[in-house]
Amino acid sequence: KIECLSGKVVWITGASSGIGEHIAYQLASVGCKLVLSARRKEELERVKQTCLKLGRSHLQDEDVLVLPMDVLDFDYHKKAVQSVLDHFKKIDILVNNAGKSQRAVWSEVQLDVDREIFEINVLGPVSLTQAVLPHMMERKQGHLVVMSSLAGILGVPGSRSYCGSKHAVHGYFDSLRTELGNNIDITLICPGPVFSNLFQHAATGKQGELVGRNMENSEKRMSTERCAYLSCVAIANRMYEVWVSQNPILFMT
Ligand code: NDP
């Protein structure tokens, strides 16, 4: 189902671990050219080596570009786009996947932590999208993908800012879609709980940890590989909004 993406240039943020890492593997296997971004360069290099192995029949070293980047470094985003264009001459798909979660009850939250979560999860994708869009508009084609969450649709205890940030992403990209018309695709992916390092990387308070543990132990969590594969199916089919969960999947197009 995802072979139609072969040859596309796909830029993935948050590619150093979890869902982003496994999206890279899925796409490398079908011959996509990849840009891998996150802060940890050594992890990106590790992911690149696996991508080259998986795509060995169709990928050369130069087909996977490691581009370390903090999504909070907004001033760098336009330069980053230029670096990708210098290398690949085009960007077909941007996967805004980098994100940070939260596990803290309301009384132990600090505003600077809330701010960081909103900046990574909302302003990061917004700023990078703004930087990429002129290129996509000029080509009259492109695909913006945003890794939202079921927390972008429902409230989750211990995750107010995370949920708020993911809800915000829906408002922003749904509105953008109405402005861009048919030339640019937008896909919002909304996974349920996934076995990744998101909870370990979360902004965690003492009481929030207890709330989060219920989620971590939930049998409803799906594997990172499955989430990544279903995300790629959604991208290949240019779906609007996709809910991805362990058991039956509900696709909304
Ligand atoms: P991980 O913690 O494994 O991955 C998060 C990724 O984001 C890492 O690659 C990390 O890389 C990157 N990242 C975090 N902060 C920054 C930053 N400031 N600048 C650049 N990159 C950053 O978790 P997941 O794979 O689970 O999360 C991926 C996405 O999936 C997130 O948007 C998350 O909200 C969403 N999601 C996850 C669910 C889950 O249950 N796991 C459920 C629903 C949605 P590095 O540290 O190297 O910068």
Tokens 């362990």 locate to: 246
Identify the residue whose tokens are 């302003």.
123
**DSSP-derived 3-state class of residue 220:** coil
Model confidence at 237, in pLDDT bands (50, 70, 90)? very high
120 CB under 6 A from ligand 1? yes
Report which of residues 247 and 47 the model is more confident about. 47
Supply the residue whose CA is at minimum distance from atom 12 of ligand 1: 14
With 90 as the cut, is the pLDDT of residue 67 above it? yes
Q: Is the pTM above the cut of 0.90?
A: yes
ipTM surpasses cut 0.85: yes
Each residue's pLDDT tens digit, 89-127: 999 999 999 999 988 888 877 888 899 999 999 999 999
Q: Which residue has the tokens 């930087």?
A: 131
CB 205 within 8 A of CB 211: no
Atom of ligand 1 nearest to the CA of 40: 47
Neighbours of 116 (CB within 10 A): 16
> Probe ligand 1: pick from 36, 188, 198, 232, max atoms within 8 Å of CB?
198
Q: How many CA atoms lie within 13 A of 219 on its CB side?
A: 1
**Whose Cα sits closest to atom 19 in ligand 1?**
70
Q: Look up residue 119 and give its DSSP letter.
A: I
SS (H, E, C) 149-189: CHHHCCCCCCCHHHHHHHHHHHHHHHHHHHHHCCCEEEEEE
Which residues have a catalytic role annotated?
162
Q: If you average pLDDT over residues 8-32, what whole number do you get?
A: 98
